[in-house]
Amino acid sequence: MEEGITDVIETINDSQLDISELMAEANLPAEATGSGRLEHITDARLMCSKPVRGTAHTIGSHCLTNIIFNKEEALLLLDTGASCSIVGEKYLEKFQPRYKDQLMPLKFTSFRGCGGKLNPIGIIETNIIFPHIKGSVRIQCEFVVMKEAPQYFILGSDFLTLYGIDIVNSREKYFTIGNDNKSKKFPIIKKNHITVVEKLQMPEKLQEAFSESNLNRNLDNSQVEDLKNVISKNKKAFAFGERM
């Protein structure tokens, strides 16, 4: 019996199989065949209040978050629809004025966005930090520098896939980074959201209180964020002494 187990282990080692990869492939979602009759259909549960008919297009939000780049706070968009990560030259110059000294050449020179053809300048390799009160996470990535781009970094599916960054759309919108950081919820920012610096300066007990709180399910994401902002900025009105 032991010899049989040893043979199996040696076979796996010889073929250089990745056990975690095999397990992941075994749990892939079922594929629809497009034939046959659909059965057991259930209605998906709403995670927040249903918008007025014809206004659903107004409640969506970009997946923007705060990052630390060159020791400064910057904005980054998590964009699963972008095949590569990009940044505009004017936005990059704010944080790294001499970035052109570090540019790498492009292998592909044809890029297109929603606004049409984009004009790339080169590639910059850099580190960015996702701040978190329970331990920040740094990743190394490459951005294609574009002449035309929004005023933030865009992390595309290239590095979202490499680092296993998953965006969760539930009662609160957040993202996680890789298997080692699944317990950490990195926030998607909105208007009037607490800045990353304020969040890091916030007492840990208040952070824990937010994570354990049972807020009204009828509140939408923006209302939840507004409520957290009010509690944070007026914490003395809601607790005292060691509970603050």
| Percent of the chain clearing pLDDT 70 (strictly above) | 61
Q: Are both 74 and 169 inside the same structural domain?
A: yes
* pLDDT bucket at 14, cuts 50 / 70 / 90: low
pLDDT digits (tens, 9 = 90+) for 20-50: 565 556 666 666 666 667 778 888 888 777 7
Which band of pLDDT confidence, cut at 50, 70 and 90, is reported for residue 134?
Answer: confident
On whether residue 130 sits in a domain, the answer given is yes
pLDDT of res. 89: 92
Specify whether 157 is located in the same domain as 110: yes
What's the pLDDT tens digit per position in 176-222?
999 887 788 898 876 444 444 445 445 555 555 555 566 666 666 66
For range 146-162, the mean pLDDT: 90
What pLDDT is stored for residue 193 in this prediction?
Answer: 46
3-state secondary structure 161-204: HHCCEEEEECCCEEEEECCCEEEEEEECCCCCCCCHHHHHHCCH
Does 13 fall in a domain?
Answer: no
Number of domains in the chain: 2
Q: Which residue has the higher pLDDT, 227 or 74?
A: 74
Q: Say how far apart CA 72 and CA 66 lie, in whole Å.
A: 10
Whether 158 and 229 share a structural domain: no
| pTM listed for this prediction | 0.63
Distance between CA 160 and CA 180 in Å, rounded? Answer: 15
161 in the same domain as 111:
yes
Report d(CA 63, CA 187) in Å as an integer: 9
**Which pLDDT score is estimated for 244?**
46
Mean pLDDT, the chain, whole residue set: 76
Name the residue among 119, 210, 198 with its Cα closest to residue 171: 210
Same domain, 76 and 144: yes
Same domain, 134 and 213: no
What is d(CA 192, CA 232) in angstroms, rounded to the nearest whole number? Answer: 13
Give the phi and the psi of residue 134 in degrees, each rounded to 5.
-100, 15
Mean per-residue pLDDT, 230-236: 69
- What average pLDDT score do residues 45-69 get? 82
Last residue of a domain, one of 151, 182, 213: 182
At residue 36, the pLDDT reads: 64
Q: Based on the domain organization, do 122 and 224 belong to the same domain?
A: no
Query: Which residue type does 182 have?
Result: K
Q: What is the CATH number of the domain that holds 102?
A: 2.40.70.10
CA distances, 118 to each of 82, 87, 113, 144 (Å): 13, 11, 6, 11
At residue 220, φ and ψ (nearest 5 deg) are -85, 175
